[in-house]
Amino acid sequence: MMMYSPQLMRLGAVLTLGVAAQAAYTIQDSYDNTNFFDGFEFFNLPDPTNGFVKYLGAAEANALSLAGYANNGVYLGVDYNTTNPVGGRSSVRVNSKKTYNEALIIADIAHQPAAACGSWPAFWTVGQNWPYNGEIDIIEGVNLATNTTYTLHTGPSCTFSQGNCNAPGTGNIGCGISSEDTQTLADGFNEIGGGIFALEWTSSAINIFFFPRTGDIPQDITSGQPDPSTWGSPQTTFSGSGCDIPSHFKDHQIVFDTTFCGDWAGKVFSSDPVCGSKAATCQEYVASNPSAFKDTYWLINSVKVYSDSATNSTTKRHTSTFKPRRFIA
């Protein structure tokens, strides 16, 4: 999850459409409120994007009701009680223990972190040795943004119609495009009861679909037999001869997190007329206004990973004995 530069329940631009090779997808892994924390682990190191955040480990996050099972979903929240927290506002970042290649990932999400000055939530996939094994940002926005940006980050020599994915030579900005759909992020997403995001990653294209809860969710998704070839046009597609996808996107973990300020939200905080009027700096605002983040949480119904027989490649990275308690958030 890196900076992109533009071109409930509790607990646009013209694109060249790439057609992924049709595949018969079968379920590989399903994560929900029965097993999510068996398949995901907590990241509790300093934030690589320099955020004003303290990522908690599993036991502490669960004890403080920042992570666990609630309201028939997986709850991932932040501390909204502490004023002037030392070292950053407490939050959680989790990633799948398994890594995936050329998969169909379908996330049914009931609630995203609400729009709030200083916040930077994201749902993404990423490989090791960043940016050379790639990153795919599916849900991402900062501060009071109203629609998600779909962004890729890679090493050199990967370009799509959306731009150079190694921009500005480090991969920090990458190549991306706004969804231009207010139902894809934060308040607009939450007002309709959420929805489903699907990432179809093949050797020839990376396609991202969104289906609002109030719209027509494909029956083949609800039946567990997804067929993206019947879904119509994705919200965006990355394809073409400018990037060899298999060599730039490898062994990805699935990630959910919420950070604050940092390299993107902090950098543009003062340029937002609303946020800039609230405090001199992003960190000052986030530290002094815990109640602003009461609705800064994810509530995930499920994440399902499908594969075809040709790309059934995963590696299980770690094991854990963490058993989260259930709570009403």
Q: List active site positions.
A: 135, 140
Structure tokens at 75: 């709850």
If one counts every other C-beta atom within 10 angstroms of the C-beta of residue 152, the result is 27
Helix, strand, coil in percent for the chain, rounding step 5: 15, 35, 50
Q: H or E segment at 121?
A: strand 119-126
Position of tokens 């308040």? 187
Please tell me the number of Cα atoms within 13 Å of 125 on its side-chain side.
Answer: 31
Q: What does the alpha-carbon distance between residue 197 and residue 166 come to, in Å, rounded to a whole number?
A: 25
String of b and e for 183-216 (b: at least 16 CB within 10 Å)?
Answer: bbbbebbbeeebbbbbbbbbeebbbbbbbbbeee
Structure tokens at 281: 């700096």
